[in-house]
Amino acid sequence: MAETFRATLKAEHFHRHAHATRTQAYERVDEWTDMSCNPQRIHTAPDDLNPAEHEPAHATRTRQTA
């Protein structure tokens, strides 16, 4: 899955944009990721929750078990 993400990132972002600094590249990749990733998509593996619901629930469970 990481390979697919990297390939998409390279094809849709890096091959289309030039960055003057590494910091600018990091910022634009962060923006691109926020725009392209679907936080509402439901995943069957993490309890049928979308990423926006799963992350806080996982953080809460992790703190309770620690």
Model pLDDT, residue 66: 63
- What is the value of pTM for the model shown? 0.44
Per-residue pLDDT of the chain (66 residues), as tens digits, is 567 777 877 787 777 888 889 898 888 888 877 777 666 665 666 677 777 777 787 788 777 776
Distance separating alpha carbons of residues 66 and 62, to the nearest angstrom: 6
Model pLDDT, residue 9: 78
Model pLDDT, residue 60: 81
CA-nearest of 24, 7, 27, 4 to 15 is 7
Model pLDDT, residue 34: 76
Residue 43, classed as helix, strand or coil, is strand
Model pLDDT, residue 40: 61
- Domain segments of the chain: what residues? 2-65
Q: How many CB atoms lie within 10 A of CB 59?
A: 10
